[in-house]
Structure 1
Amino acid sequence: MITEEEVNKLLSQHEALFRFIGAKFEKIDRGIAKLTFEYKEDLTRIGGILHGAIIFAAMDYAGSYAVRTLDVQEAYTLEFNIIFLKAMKTPPFSFLAKVIRETKRYAYVEVEGFDGDNELCAKGNGIWHLIRN
């Protein structure tokens, strides 16, 4: 299984959005991934809160790498829904993804977004299409 260090290096070298966010995977285990990053003004909307598009990107990265710990060759997001519960202002921001159900071709993933006070600020769920070896 790929390690946190390997994923961080790979994405930092090849993904401009990952670099822009300043994201870092802190944990990757079978069916689980945790992504964190600090506050940057460039990531906010008017009012100084974390932009919804950045929250989606973080949730998608976390969910994607939780899925990639399964026995898959490739996976991609089919659908993703987010409920924004509280403005995310206090860093560091963290996103924890868990694979809830896995079938031969699909994975259902739940992702939670927390602020620096460890308050749940966003909850998402998505379906990934799995390409098996």
Structure 2
Amino acid sequence: MRNYVEKHDKLVRYLQMTIETATPEFARVTMPITENHKNGMGMAHGGAIFALADVAFGAAANAGKDMGVVSLSTTIEFLRPGKCGPLAAESYVVRKGQRIQSYIVKVFDGDGELIAQCMASGYQTDVPLPD
């Protein structure tokens, strides 16, 4: 999964994310907080945090598969500002059906504090992942 994402996902490269672990049950993805990741108030931008959570969900949902999983729905709650990095998103499977999968994703700051959590669901397509 890591090689696939590094080859095909330009946003992951731009935001300097690293997929540390990716299995169908769990994924962990990290991202630094640089000036490019901050909002006007000097903290991690909500869009960058959301992108990190989405990549962690996608890494777990697509791990070990030949056919792609796409997002159906994602909701996120921002619990506290992300002031210190790196940020880490951990995605845990909640339910896996034949086509629909659900995950909980938790995002932590560099001190290990929970800063956001989201619920993500995906749809198993019949479209092969590119090489």
2:53 alignment partner, one of 59, 64, 67: 59
Structure 2 counterpart of 1:115, one-letter code:
D
Backbone CA RMSD of aligned residues:
1.6
1:22 match: secondary structure: coil
CA contact (8 A) 2:31 2:86 kept: yes
CA contact (8 A) 1:72 1:130 kept: no
Q: What is the total number of aligned residue pairs between the two structures?
A: 127
Structure 2 counterpart of 1:74, one-letter code:
G
Percent of pairs identical after alignment?
Answer: 26
Runs of 4+ in 1 over 3 A off after TM superposition: none
How far apart, CA to CA, are the structure 1 residues paired with 2:71 and 2:52?
A: 13
Matches for 1:30-109 after TM superposition, within 5 Å:
30-69=24-63, 71=65, 73-109=67-103
2:20 match: secondary structure: strand
CA contact (8 A) 2:23 2:64 kept: no
How far apart, CA to CA, are the structure 2 residues paired with 1:70 and 1:17?
A: 22
TM-score (norm 1): 0.88
1:122 match: secondary structure: strand
CA contact (8 A) 1:23 1:36 kept: yes
- List alignment gaps of at least 5 residues for structure 2: none
- List alignment gaps of at least 5 residues for structure 1: none
Task: Report the CA distance between 1:37 and its aligned residue.
Answer: 1.5
